[in-house]
Structure 1
Amino acid sequence: MSELPVGFQERMKELLGDEYWAFEASYLEERSQGLRFSSLKLHGQEAELRHGEASGLWAVRLAQQVAKKAGFSLRPVPWVKEGFYYGSQDRPGKHPYHEAGVYYIQEPSAMAVVELLEPLPGDSVLDLCAAPGGKSSHIAARLEGRGFLLSNEIHPARAKVLSQNIERMGIRNCVVCNEEPGRLAPHFAGFFDKVVVDAPCSGEGMFRKDERAREEWSEERVRMCAARQAEILDYGAYMLKPGGRLVYSTCTFAPEENEGTIMRFLEGHENFSVEERPHYKGFTAGIPKWAGYGQITGGSFQDESQLFKLHLERTMRIMPHKLEGEGHFIAVLRKEGTGAYENYGGKNGKARYLDDRKRRDVLKEFEVFLRNTLIAPEPFLSREEYVLFGEQLYLVPEQMPDMTGLKVARPGLHMGTLKKNRFEPSHGLALTLKAEEVNAVCDLQAESPQAFNYLRGGTVVPEGDNAGWLARGKGWVLVTVDGYSLGWCKLAGGILKNHYPKGLRWN
Structure 2
Amino acid sequence: MNLPSDFLVKMKDLLKDEYEDFYKSYQDPKKQGLRVNTLKVSIDHFIEISPFALDKIPWVKEGFFYKDEERPGKHPYHEAGLYYIQEPSAMAVGEMLDAQPGEKVLDLCAAPGGKTTHIAAKMNQRGFLLANEIHPARAKILSQNIERMGIKNCVVTNETPARLAERFPAYFDRILVDAPCSGEGMFRKDPNACAEWSMENVALCVSRQLDILKHAGNMLKLGGRLVYSTCTFSPEENEGVISHFLKEDSRFKIESVVAYEGFGEGREDWVSEGALDIDKTFRLWPHKLQGEGHFIAVLTKVDGDEGFKRKYVDVLKDQKLLKDYVQFAKETFIESPKGDFILFGDSLYMLPGGTLSLKNLKVLRPGWHLGTNKKNRFEPSHALALSLKGEEVRHTWCVGKDSNEIESYLRGESLAVKGSKGWYLVEVDGFSVGWGKLAGDVLKNHYPKGLRWVGK
TM-score range, shorter-chain basis? over 0.9
Matched, 1:344 2:308: yes
Aligned to 2:151: 171
How big is each residue's C-alpha offset from its partner over 1:449-477, in whole Å with a ceiling of 9 and x where there is no partner? 11111110012344xxxx5xx0x2x1100
Give the TM-score normalised by structure 2. Answer: 0.97
Counterpart amino acid of residue 334 in structure 1: T
8 Å contact kept, 1:253–1:329: yes
How big is each residue's C-alpha offset from its partner over 1:152-182, in whole Å with a ceiling of 9 and x where there is no partner? 0000000000000010110000000000111
Cα distance in 1 for partners of 2:365, 2:214 equals: 25
8 Å contact kept, 2:254–2:280: yes
8 Å contact kept, 1:243–1:338: no
Structural mapping, 1:109-258, within 5 Å: 109-258=89-238
Cα distance in 2 for partners of 1:123, 1:243 equals: 13
How big is each residue's C-alpha offset from its partner over 1:237-282, in whole Å with a ceiling of 9 and x where there is no partner? 1100000000000000000000000000111111211100113121
8 Å contact kept, 2:252–2:303: no
Cα distance in 2 for partners of 1:168, 1:353 equals: 26
**Offset at 1:338?**
9.0
Aligned to 2:29: 30
Aligned to 1:373: 332
Cα distance in 2 for partners of 1:206, 1:129 equals: 17
Give the TM-score normalised by structure 1. Answer: 0.88
Counterpart amino acid of residue 372 in structure 1: E
Aligned to 1:54: none
**Offset at 1:337?**
4.5
**Offset at 1:60?**
3.6
**Offset at 1:396?**
1.5
Counterpart amino acid of residue 65 in structure 1: I
Aligned to 2:452: 505
Counterpart amino acid of residue 320 in structure 1: P
**Offset at 1:32?**
1.1
How big is each residue's C-alpha offset from its partner over 1:339-378, in whole Å with a ceiling of 9 and x where there is no partner? 9x6x335xx50101112xx2x211111111111111111x
Matched, 1:314 2:280: yes
**Offset at 1:399?**
1.1
Aligned to 1:61: 45
Cα distance in 2 for partners of 1:218, 1:337 equals: 37
- SS of equivalent residue, structure 2 residue 415: coil
Structural mapping, 1:65-104, within 5 Å: 65-66=49-50, 70=51, 72-104=52-84
Cα distance in 1 for partners of 2:432, 2:110 equals: 25
8 Å contact kept, 1:188–1:344: no
8 Å contact kept, 2:175–2:220: yes
**Offset at 1:387?**
1.2
Aligned to 1:260: 240
Cα distance in 2 for partners of 1:421, 1:117 equals: 45
**Offset at 1:64?**
3.2
**Offset at 1:12?**
0.3
Aligned to 2:432: 485
Q: How many residues matched?
A: 454
Cα distance in 2 for partners of 1:257, 1:427 equals: 40
Counterpart amino acid of residue 181 in structure 2: C
Counterpart amino acid of residue 376 in structure 1: E
Counterpart pick for 1:420 among 341, 350, 375 = 375
Cα distance in 1 for partners of 2:233, 2:246 equals: 20
Structure with the largest fraction of helix: 1
Aligned to 2:296: 330
Counterpart pick for 2:388 among 427, 430, 433 = 433
How big is each residue's C-alpha offset from its partner over 1:404-433, in whole Å with a ceiling of 9 and x where there is no partner? 111001111111111222111000000000
Long gaps (5+) in structure 1: 43-57, 292-301
8 Å contact kept, 2:385–2:425: yes
Cα distance in 2 for partners of 1:244, 1:461 equals: 54
Cα distance in 2 for partners of 1:461, 1:350 equals: 47
Distance 1:59 1:121, change over 3 A: same
Cα distance in 2 for partners of 1:177, 1:30 equals: 36
